[in-house]
Amino acid sequence: MLLSVVIPTYNEAEGIGRFHFNHLLPAIKSAAKKYEIIYVNDGSSDLTLSILDSIAETSPQIKVVNLSRNFGKEIATTAGIYEATGDAIIILDSDGQHPPEIFPEFIKLWKTGAQVVVGVRNSNQSEGVVKNYGSKLFYKLFNTFSESTIVPRSTDYRLIDRAVQEEFKKFDERQRITRGLIDWLGFDREYIYFDSPARLAGEASYSTT
C-alpha cells in the first residue's frame, strides 16, 4: 500500500521544518512502509518555498507543488489531491494543529474498510467567542440548506481512499469547501477524535469555521 500525504502550506516558514522533521516524518514512518509527501506552497510571501525545496532534497518521496499565487487553502488542498498517487491519501495542515501522531489510527480504520476517515476536534477545547459562534452558525446553516450533513468540529484533517479521490476530481467548483465536497460524495465513513494543539509558530491566516 502506498500512502500519500497532502499538506497545504501558506507562510509557514517559522514552523514548517519542525513540523516536517519532528512530527510528520516519525508519524508517517510508523504508519506506512511506502509513502509520498506532497507539500503545496500556496503562494507564500515568506521563505516557505525555499524551505520546502530544501526539505524535498532530503528524499525523493517528497514533492513540492508551487502555486503561482495565493489561492486559499481549499484550492491548495485540491491541487495536492490531484497530484497524489497513493491508495490512501491523508490531508492535513502544516502548522501542527493536525497532529500527525494519529496517522496509524487513520490507517487502521482505512484497513478495516472506511473510505473516508474524518478528524474531529474534541469539544473540550477553548476557542474565541466569535470563532465559536461563527462555527455553530456555519454548521446550522450548512446542515439546514445542504443535502449532506456534517458533524460539528469535523476538520479538513482526513483520509480519503483512492476511489474517493477519483470522484473528487470530477468536481469543477471553483468556490469550494473541500470537506463539504468530500462529505457530499458519501462512501463509508469513520471518525477520529483528536485534541488540536496550538500552532507550532505564527498565527492563523485564514478560516472558514
Segment interacting with Mg ion (CB under 5 A) among 22-30, 48-56, 91-99, 112-120? 91-99
Q: Is 77 in the site for Mg ion (CB under 5 A)?
A: no
Site mask for ligand UDP (CB under 6 A), range 54-93, x = bound: ----------------x-xx--x----------------x
Site mask for ligand UDP (CB under 6 A), range 5-34, x = bound: ---xxx-x----------------------
Identify whether the C-beta of residue 185 lies closer than 8 Å to the C-beta of residue 140. no
Q: Is 94 in the site for ligand UDP (CB under 6 A)?
A: yes
Own/partner contacts of 102-107, CB < 8 Å, gap of 24 or more, are: 102/27, 102/192, 102/194, 103/27, 103/28, 103/30, 103/31, 103/32, 104/27, 104/30, 104/31, 105/192, 106/31, 106/158, 106/159, 106/192, 107/3, 107/31, 107/32, 107/159
Q: 149 is written with which cell numbers?
A: 450533513
Number of other CB atoms surrounding residue 96 within 10 Å: 22
Site mask for Mg ion (CB under 5 A), range 189-208, x = bound: ---------------x----
Q: Is 95 in the site for Mg ion (CB under 5 A)?
A: yes
Binding site for ligand UDP (CB under 6 A): 8-10, 12, 42, 70, 72-73, 76, 93-95, 97, 204-207
